[in-house]
Structure 1
Amino acid sequence: MTKTAKRIVKERRDYNAWVATETLEDYSLRYAPKSFRKWSEFLVANTAIGGISFLALEAIGGSLVINYGFANSCWAILIVGAIIFLAGLPITYYAAKYNIDIDLLTRGAGFGYIGSTITSLIYASFTFIFFALEAAIMAQALKLYFHLPLSIGYLVCSLIIIPLVFYGVTLINKLQLWTQPIWLLLMVSPYIFVLYKEPNALNNWLHFAGNSPSGAAFDPLLFGAAATVSFSLIAQLGEQVDYLRFLPTVTQENRVKWWFAVILAGPGWIILGCAKQLGGAFLATLAIKNGVDFSIAKEPIQMYLAGFANIFSDPATVLFVATLFVIISQIKINVTNAYAGSLAWSNFFSRLTHSHPGRVVWLIFNVAIALLLMELGVFETLEIILGLYSNIAIAWVGAVVADLIINKPLGLSPSYIEFKRAYLYNFNPVGFGAMAIASGLAIVAFIGAFGNYAQAYSPFIALGVAFVLSPIIAFITKGKYYIARENLHCQTSDINSLITCCICEQEYELADTAFCPVYDGPICSLCCSLDAHCHDSCKTSDSTIKNLTNSIYQRILNGKLSPQSGLRLIKFGGIFSLNAGLIAAILGLVYYQGVLHSPEVPATIHYLILKIFLVLYAALLVVTGIATWWLVLSEESRELAEEELDKQNQLLQQEIAERQQVEAALQKLTHELEIRVEQRTAELSQALTSLQQAQTQLVQNEKMSSLGQLVAGIAHEINNPINFIHGNLEHASEYVTGLLELVETYETEIPNVSANIQELSEEIELEFIQEDLPKLLSSMRVGTERIRAIVLSLRSFSRIDEADVKAVDLHEGIDSTLMILGHRLKAKSERPAIQVIKEYGNLPLIECYAGQLNQVFMNILVNAIDAIEEQNIQRSFADIRANPNQITIRTSVLETEDFVEILIQDNGPGMSAEVQEKLFDYQFTTKPIGKGTGLGLSICRQIVAGKHGGRLTCKSELGKGTEFTIAIPIHQSAKILAAVNQSNS
């Protein structure tokens, strides 16, 4: 369905200050977002209902009762009011639900994007016509009170509205809220006093005949003519919708208030509107009864002068209050007319010119047109203007209502309202076609072509034909002209998210954006409407129409003119016909109002003036033809220049794309090279670190191996003489014991010895020798046994004379380590001894690298001793006695894992979490420079995990000591050893 659109160079759109400020704009060309709908249901409804304060209702009612009598005018007002109420229900509901104005609603209800432009013009016409009527009513009051000429009064009444509408609905809300009580009081009070003081006035109205040929009785023809005038009020629904779109979103909590506001301020306006028309008819008869002429009795100021005369006795007070009421009423309604008109003109011209200078510009434009109508005497031709207008307005509303209540429920049109240009056909024959046919037939009937009854009932013809044709055309076309392309944008985006427009770079809600394949990004509805370069490339909306136009062109001209010349002629004909008709309508209105119906112009010169008008019209046609042809050529030149510029942009864009591709390829290659360099650098860094660790490990292993060999050699060398001494001590003890027994025998047998022997005995202290020599030999035996135990511990710690892996008793290795560290555990001057608490479990023999495991025990125990000694520097002896230095060694078997666990715990100062994270890192140490290398625990983990497939963990807390846990398997299988050896290599 959607053809691939060519890309167009994107240029950021910067709006002027008026357009960018939504407080001024009130989202005039788009739906009202949730962020802008900040008013309560009551305030919105009050503002909307305040818009029906227009006294044209009373003027219409007065005009109808004067021209058609009571019965015809009353029934016309009531029946038309019922039809408007029923038509307003679906229109106001959909507008409030989707937060869109009447133009956007019309777009999605069967008219298409450009098709709704015509309805914007209809709606705009309603606003300036009624603005002119209301301002004329106000000028009449100013003339009576201030004696201000009508021409000056028209200007004053127009200019004072502009600043009030400048700030849009924000200021209008406040104005309607402040003036509502005064307006209601002044509007209702005259009727109460008149009925109280003049009860016959009601009976006078019920039997009032006016200028009616049928008198006060009912006449079908006069009823139809009266209904035609009253039907013109149906376009007021558009003004109600302009405010109802600002209602908050309907929820379960505000459902009742929301519906009340929609019905009261939507179709409900006609209830008060009918009452005001009937009230105007009543006051008009009262004014006539009080002597006011028929020609001016339809003026609201005359009506309310008659009404307020029953409240106040002073004529000056009556005139003042009546004038005040008229001024308040007209300001309340004309701010609404001017505001709604500015929206309608904004929509109309934005689509024709693809430009949006701001709502305020069209506000002034709308007021200027109304001022021109006032100067031409619009109030005097009230019935003719409203009668002609109603045939078009009712056809428009009838087509919209038919789509909402018939086509959508039957599935002939989409169930939702799509209003964005990107997804709509320019023309939809369903609504636009139904309106065009219905309004055309109604206008022909209105001018009397089909007889008197058709003329009288022309708006009913417009309503009926539009209402019936809409579903028929939708059924015939199968509804294919509603959506030009599917909206996938809403399916891929979060409904509550804000989306940035790729053109103006402002943020909008999802409902206000579309995806533009031409600019390849999301685009807001305003930028989409104003874009003149894409030519609707995203959809095939005009292909059928273009093919049909070309076909008709070929048949008519049969190739006698070039396609380009034929297209020029078609454009020229269309624009020229439109301008010629517009000029004719203006001149005809001026002639009709200023000449034909002017009592100041004699009938004898009417023909001469008509000839002058015809000559003027012919001259204007010549000028219009020249201007139109120049406009067509200028537009063609602009399009050619635009096409050429687009081609240049395409070439430039293609070149930019190619350069971007080359740049992207270079960036990709550079990125890949950077990644490779980083990878190689990381590999080299890792290799260097591994090499340093391996080198350090080799050095450490070599140191340990050399130390082990040295310890083993010393132990071996000491072992032989110690064994010799220890073995001979037994014999020496026996020999000494025998000699001592011999000496005692000699002393017993020979008590008297020579003086030399006695002297020698005393000199060598024979008695002491006899007593101490056995003790000496016993001490020497204990010393040799201690030396033999130390030598055995050294041999057990180094394990240099045993195989790499062997089943050993771990307790023996721990004890040998403690034996070696015995001097560190003893008491010193600065601290008492460190107690070692052994809680050995029943361990089996463990297959392991015994010497390396002993190294692990040594490192952990040395660290524990260092930590305790560091802590003792800051502790008092009393504290140490209360909490003595302790190292606890606990062993157990983890039967579930076939592992043994060795736990070494101290009550030292503990470690922080930051230190624990780096504890086993290579070359990390907390000791002062020269006292630690940071290799001990790193090597310990390598021995436990790498060599034995075990685990080495640490758990510590500041002030609560440290606990190391060693877990190694009981059996080192050949497969595990092979894997370990492979990983180590």
Structure 2
Amino acid sequence: FLTGLPISYYAATYGVDMDLLTRGAGFGYIGSTISSFVYASFTFILFALEAAIMAYALELYFHLPLYLGYMLSALVVIPLVTHGVTLISRIQMITQPIWLVLLVLPFIAIIHKQPELIGQLTRFAGQSGEGGHFNVLMFGAATAVGVALITQIGEQVDYLRFMPEKTRENRLRWHLGVLIAGPGWILLGIAKMLGGALLAVLAINSGVAFAQAVNPNQMYLAGFGQVFSSPTVAVLATAFFVVISQVKINMTNAYAGSLAWSNFFARLTHSHPGRVVWAVFNALIAVLLMELDVFQALDQVLGFYSNIAISWITAVVADLVVNKPLGLSPKGIEFRRAYLYDINPVGVGAMVLASLLSMAAFAGLFIASPAIAWATRGKYYIARQPVQFGKMRSKKCVICEKEYETEDMAHCPAYQGSICSLCCCLDARCNDVCKPHARFSAQWQAALRAMLPQSLSRYLTNGLGHYLLLMLVTVLFLASLLGLIYLHEESALMQTGAAMLPQLRLAFLKMFGALLLASAIVVWWLVLTSESRRVAQEESNRQTGLLTREIELHGQTDAQLQLAKKQADQANQAKSRYIAGISHEIRTPLNSILGYAQLLDNDPSIPEHRQQAIRVIRSSGEHLLSLIEGSLDIARIEGGKFSFDIKEVPFPDFIGQLVRMFELQAHSKGLTFHYELTGDLPRIVRADRRRLGQILINILGNAVKFTSTGGIVFRLHYAREMASFEVEDSGPGILDEEREHIFEPFSRGSAGNSASATGTGLGLPISKMLTQMMGGELSLHRA
């Protein structure tokens, strides 16, 4: 009761389960993995015991073989657990009235029919035959079995962590709820243990053997025999009550076990396949234990387990009620990986010390935890100071992108943002970059340097040292496991076949040697694999650093390119504004020059020898005007201010006018001009007639201009609402080295530099730009 009180209060206050509470109460991030394993072991041991009782009930009524009953009893709760604590709570509430009625009925009948049985209980001597006198050794053995149930508080905490927040209005009800649902289970447990003892006395008085009287089925069969006169009804009531009881208990066991295994493996593997997987895993272990007949070795199993269980629970309690008030431990419960050392020697050391010395004395456990906390000055509770988020109530995780309360968030330097506690636990790539000094490997190396000379500690931190450490743990584990099994088998053989003990001892020694040899190979393989993984991780980190540096450099280059592009765009816009402004100033006098040149050219009074000069003035003015118009078009296109005037165009007439116009020009130069049409032209198309004509006139005009002999072929192919224009001439062509520059403004090929050819060098660039803006393509091919 006293150990459950502070655990229940802190769990309900901070909304944490037993694993998270252990993390912040002196065990650290990886250190609480040990307690998760201990708690998970409790859940599957209790799960197996309760399921075995249910299997006996099924055998009692349905005559179901035990091996099938074991499997059915273990697996039946899995579908119920998969729906979470909401369904579990609903089933508990629905079955609670039925369970309570069946629980108290036998005791009411006993008080009514055999009230003297209570007096017999106080004088019952059992198998000892000591007349009921108090026996310290037997009391200690019974206490050892009962103490194993101390971890039941963990299952109570799984419900208490969902308690509403304590306020001034609900303060009394909140404390009362924590008291009843938390340590209050002990009071009901004591009453049930006394009631079980009373039923056991009743069963023994009814002729049940001592070995069978501890079976709850036999106890309640005797009890319901006092309620119902029909043996069949009594058996049915017993089976029904036991099944309900075991389902209620094992739902909680399976749920709590799935949480414990999930926490255990999530820290070791950084993966979270889901609680359903671990619920099945817990049930399968329970089935294996039942097949090994764990119920018959109940006292040995729980007696051994109680030493570890009480060591863990009281180490946690000592931190909560001693270390925190004395300031040896930080206030509150810090459970986030980002702020914890992997191993906190306070809780882990207290638990290991108490377990190794088999300290059953309550005070001894309390002394260990405060003593270690004082010796380490509370250094190993917090690896780095938590980042404060101010008044913000929630933050978004940079990995899962979900909103969480700031109490569940930490700042992650690896991902440069806030990360939730779950994603932080499952991440396997950061290598605790936020707290490298708090990793278990760093703590282990620091401990070796502190305890051993530098010349010796250097060898124990490499692969050989890791191998020796793992082998030491493996040898201790194998020796403990096989030793327990041997002692169990030895106690069984002492009564039937003591002569076989030497052969049994030899067989166990051979088994230990074989397992040790196989373990040595497996451990060496694990060490080599770990070393390879470490080297690969270092290389990956190096390559990642180089890639990150390259990305940063690319980012700087891109920023410079963007700046240069911006400056170029600004210069281009300035050029466009300048051209637009200067063209206006040039066109005003140029229009006057062209106008007077046209008037003088048509004036018959001008002497013949002056007409040639006037024609040169007019031709030069028109060339300058076309240059200005082309420059303005390019400026508007590059500045994004160009727009099309889309209207309906009679397409056949439009093409016919172009063909007739260039036929005349070609024939005037002595050239041939052929027009080839493929497909049926639509009567009307929507296009900018002026700009489409400008493109075709530029291309056809160049073909006529630069062709001296031969002819020009103009082809038009129309199909599937797509028009393809092709102009072929027999001119000098364009050299290969000039192709990439021919579409640049003011660029002219070698043929255009002849004295007979005139032009601005803007026709092709403007035509290509207009074609692309219309969604088309302009290309050049040389035969």
For normalisation by structure 1, the TM-score amounts to 0.56
Structure 2 counterpart of 1:526, one-letter code: L
The answer to whether residue 400 in structure 2 is matched with residue 504 in structure 1 is yes
1:186 is aligned, of 83, 102, 112, to 102
Match of 2:54 in 1: 138
Distance 1:221 1:656, change over 3 A: same
1:368 aligns with 2:263: no
Specify the alignment match of 2:637 in structure 1.
none
Which residue is equivalent to 2:507? Answer: 612
The answer on whether the counterparts of 2:448 and 2:457 sit within 8 Å (CA) in structure 1 is no
2:392 is aligned, of 466, 469, 494, to 494
Q: Spell out the pairing of 1:610-689 with structure 2 (5 A cutoff).
A: 610-667=505-562
> Which structure 2 residues correspond to residues 836-875 of structure 1 after superposition, within 5 A?
none
Paired residue secondary structure (1:409)? helix
Shift of 1:666: 3.9
Q: Residues of 2 paired with 1:254 and 1:675: CA distance?
A: 69
Bigger Cα displacement from structure 2, 280-289 vs 601-610: 601-610
Write the mapping of 1:373-384 to structure 2, written as runs, cut at 5 A: 373-384=289-300
| 1:493 Cα deviation from its structure 2 partner | 5.4
Q: Using the alignment, how far apart are the partners of 1:397 and 1:380 within structure 2?
A: 27
CA–CA distance in 1 between the matches of 2:438 and 2:129?
Answer: 54
SS at the partner of 2:404? strand
Aligned in 2, Cα 1:679/1:329: closer, same or farther, shift over 3 Å?
Answer: farther
* Counterparts of 1:129 and 1:238, CA distance in 2: 14
Map 1:532-931 to 2 at 5 A: 532-539=428-435, 540-542=437-439, 543-550=442-449, 557=456, 567-594=462-489, 596-597=491-492, 602-667=497-562
Indicate how the Cα distance of structure 1 residues 676 and 133 shifts in structure 2: closer, same or farther if over 3 A, else same: farther
Residues of 2 paired with 1:680 and 1:115: CA distance?
71
Aligned to 1:310, the other structure's residue is in SS state helix
1:293 aligns with 2:209: yes
Give the Cα separation in 1 of the matches to 2:456 and 2:497.
Answer: 50
**Cα drift, residue 149 of structure 1:** 2.3
Q: Does 2:305 correspond to 1:389?
A: yes
- In 1, distance between residues paired with 2:171 and 2:128? 48
Equivalent position SS for 1:459: coil
| Alpha-carbon shift at residue 555 of structure 1 (Å) | 5.2
Measured at CA, do residues 193 and 545 of structure 1 come closer, stay the same or move farther in structure 2, by a change above 3 Å? Answer: same
Provide closer, same or farther for how the CA distance between residues 333 and 544 of structure 1 changes in structure 2, counting only shifts above 3 A.
closer
RMSD of equivalent CA atoms: 2.6
Amino acid of the residue matched to residue 424 of structure 2? C
CA contact (8 A) 1:434 1:465 kept: no
Inter-CA distance 669–100: structure 2 relative to 1 (3 Å threshold): farther
Tell me how far apart the structure 2 counterparts of residues 257 and 668 of structure 1 sit (CA, whole Å): 67
Quote the residue 1:818 is aligned against: none
Q: CA deviation at 1:207?
A: 0.7
Q: Is the 8 A contact 1:595 1:601 kept in 2?
A: no
Which residue, 460, 464, 477 being the options, matches 2:363? 464
In the TM superposition, what is the alpha-carbon distance from 1:673 to its structure 2 partner? 7.8
Q: Distance in 2 between the 1:644 and 1:256 partners?
A: 59
CA distance in 2: counterparts of 1:140 and 1:572, whole angstroms:
46
For 1:573, the aligned partner's letter is L
Residue 481 of structure 1: SS of its match in structure 2? coil
Name the CA distance, whole Å, in 1 between partners of 2:457 and 2:281: 44
Q: Give the counterpart of 2:120 among 183, 186, 204.
A: 204
Distance (Å, rounded) in 1 between the aligned partners of 2:474 and 2:291: 22
The 5 Å alignment of 1:474-489 reads 474-488=373-387
Q: How many residues align?
A: 577
- Say which is worse superposed, 594-603 or 141-150, in terms of deviation: 594-603
What is the letter of the counterpart of residue 479 of structure 1? G
* Amino acid across the alignment from 1:546: Q
Q: How much has 1:552 moved relative to structure 2?
A: 5.1
- The SS at the match of 1:439 is helix
User: Percent same amino acid among aligned pairs?
Assistant: 53
Q: Does the residue aligned with 1:515 lie in a helix, a strand or coil?
A: strand
Letter matched to residue 143 of structure 1: E
Superposed displacement of residue 681, structure 1? 12
Unaligned runs of 5+ in 1: 1-84, 443-457, 686-985
Secondary structure of residue in 2 paired with 1:209: coil
Q: Relative to 1, partners in 2 of residues 1:196 and 1:100: Cα closer, same or farther, differing over 3 Å?
A: same
Q: 1:544 to 1:676 in 2, by over 3 A?
A: farther
Conserved in 2, the CA contact under 8 Å of 1:422 and 1:516? yes
Aligned to 1:225: 141
Q: Which residue of the partner structure matches residue 121 of structure 1?
A: 37
Aligned-residue offset at 1:192: 0.9
SS at match of 1:309: helix
| Partner deviation per Cα, 1:15-59 (whole Å, 9 max, x = no partner) | xxxxxxxxxxxxxxxxxxxxxxxxxxxxxxxxxxxxxxxxxxxxx
CA contact (8 A) 2:43 2:253 kept: yes
Trace 1:271-310 onto structure 2 (pairs within 5 A): 271-310=187-226
Task: Tell me, yes or no, if the aligned pair for 1:376 and 1:590 is still in contact at 8 Å.
Answer: no
C-alpha contact 1:135 1:154 (8 A) present in aligned 2: yes
CA distance in 2: counterparts of 1:519 and 1:557, whole angstroms: 38
Gaps of 5+ in 2: 581-783
Residues 964-979 of structure 1 aligned to structure 2 (within 5 Å): none
Contact 1:284 1:303 in 2 (8 A): yes
Deviates more, 1:363-372 or 1:581-590: 581-590
Are 1:526 and 2:526 an aligned pair?
no
Q: Does the CA-based 8 Å contact 2:389-2:406 persist in structure 1?
A: no
**In the alignment, is residue 97 of structure 1 matched against residue 13 of structure 2?**
yes
Distance 2:531 2:11 in 1: 39
Q: After superposition, what is the alpha-carbon deviation per residue over 1:451-503, rounded to whole angstroms, capped at 9, x for unaligned?
A: xxxxxxx422xx32221222222222221211111111x333502x2x22212
Over 3 Å counting, the alpha-carbon distance change for 1:150 and 1:663 in structure 2 is same
2 CA distance for matches of 1:659 and 1:134? 64
2:411 aligned counterpart, secondary structure:
strand
Please give the alpha-carbon distance, in whole angstroms, between the structure 2 residues aligned to 1:161 and 1:215.
Answer: 44
1:595 shift after superposition: 6.1
Distance, in Å, in 2 between the alignment partners of 1:621 and 1:555 is 31
- Residue 327 of structure 2 is aligned to residue 432 of structure 1: no
Higher Rg: 1
Letter in 2 for 1:402: A
Secondary structure of the 2:328 match is coil
Letter in 1 for 2:294: V
Contact kept? 2:493, 2:500, Cα under 8 Å: no
What TM-score, normalized to structure 2? Answer: 0.70
Match of 2:77 among 161, 174, 182: 161
What secondary structure, in the 3-state scheme, does the structure 2 residue paired with 1:408 have?
A: helix
Note closer, same or farther for the CA distance 1:544–1:325 as it changes in structure 2 (3 Å cut). closer
| 1:679, distance to aligned residue in structure 2 (A) | 12
Is the 8 Å Cα contact of residues 493 and 501 (structure 2) preserved in structure 1?
A: no
The 2-side partners of 1:581 and 1:407 are apart by 32
Report the CA distance between 1:376 and its aligned residue: 1.3
Q: Classify 1:432/1:672 alpha carbon distance in 2 versus 1 (closer, same or farther; 3 Å).
A: farther
Aligned to 2:330: 414
Match of 2:237 in 1: 321
Name the SS for the 2:244 alignment partner.
helix
C-alpha deviation, 1:664, in angstroms? 3.2
- The answer on whether the counterparts of 2:315 and 2:366 sit within 8 Å (CA) in structure 1 is yes
Shift of 1:117: 1.0
CA distance in 1, matches of 2:69, 2:418: 50
CA distance in 1 between partners of 2:203 and 2:409 (Å): 56
Q: Indicate how the Cα distance of structure 1 residues 96 and 185 shifts in structure 2: closer, same or farther if over 3 A, else same.
A: same
